[in-house]
Structure 1
Amino acid sequence: MSKVGLLQAFRKATMSQASDPSTPSRRAKVTKPAAAKAVSPDEPAPPCFVRKLRKAAVGTGCDIRLRVSVLGNPEPKLRWYRNKRPLPPSEAQDPGGLWIRDCRTCDAGLYTCVASNTLGEATSSAVLAVMDLGEGRRLPQHIVPVKAPELMSEGARGKSATYWAPPDTTWYSPAVSHPSTNLA
């Protein structure tokens, strides 16, 4: 059989499979979980996360909101944990999530939200990574800004600064041989 004949046979076979209802589709079917269905205000239901926590990464000094959405009746109460330790209730916590303002590297970790009511509880967890971007760092004490205009680059416009670090100095005693005196 020629290449053209093979190609036509393949197309014919795949087309017949596509029209055959017993052959599963290659496209994924998106269905809502049973627990995510709308909860009637009168019907009691245990908590269910319809929006779970998602892993996130943020730079130091940034704000981030860890978002959740929970259904249940009676209305679930949320408790937050970082690295399995409870976070104290604050105005940063609301029914839609947890705000973390001015992130620092110590804010990184595993965050868990526990939603509970009289019928049960549900849990969602995700990792928050906080990357140190080096912003807001102060210069080490041994680096001093140079303000002398003759040390500024010529033609510089706007705000510019030159920094100078004092050299490292090593003192040697006359009784101790210095490496540079051992010239052979």
Structure 2
Amino acid sequence: MQDIMRTVSEEVMEVLEEVSEEEAKKIASHLHEADRIFIAGNGRSGLAGKMFAMRLMHVGYEVYVVGETITPSITGGDIFLVISGSGNTKSLVDLAEKAGGAGAHVLAVTTDEESKLGAIALDTLVIPAVTKNDGSKKTTIQPLGSQFDQSAHLLLDSLIVYMTKYFAEDDENSWKGKHANLE
């Protein structure tokens, strides 16, 4: 088991080391400057998006997860961040087109800058990981899109650290006050 855990963590680290620091900083700046942030993804990518949304809320951003009952209409000045390994998931492409049509800026987190989402997005944060439909020569011991989802989670958590370091107006004490207390 230790060998498997070591291999998985090494695989994810190799992926993260290939992520463009410039792209990540641009995404962080867009998020920080947005009036509101809307996040969408399907499956495990969607769960990574929900975790990111929670942390954005904790550190002071107005953020919504698309599909939740309390999510308002998206408008100009808002950011629509979509997470998709392939970048071609039809339902997410459709949402990105709607968001762009409403005046929001679309940002994509995907493995393929030239995907349908990459073509729609103002900026794309590429995670060079293996996905479930990947035809690349990269290999992983992990099933389906696990390598992408894990890498996305850690990368998005890293964006939170970056954003709190360079943009934060509040401190950790105020962030703790925004953490759920009905647990």
Band the TM-score falls in, shorter-chain normalisation: under 0.3
Decide which structure has greater helix share: 2
More strand by share: 1
Structure with the larger RCO, 1 or 2 (CA within 8 Å, 6+ apart): 2
TM-score where L is the length of structure 2: 0.20
TM-score, normalised to structure 1, is 0.20
State the structure with more CA Rg: 1
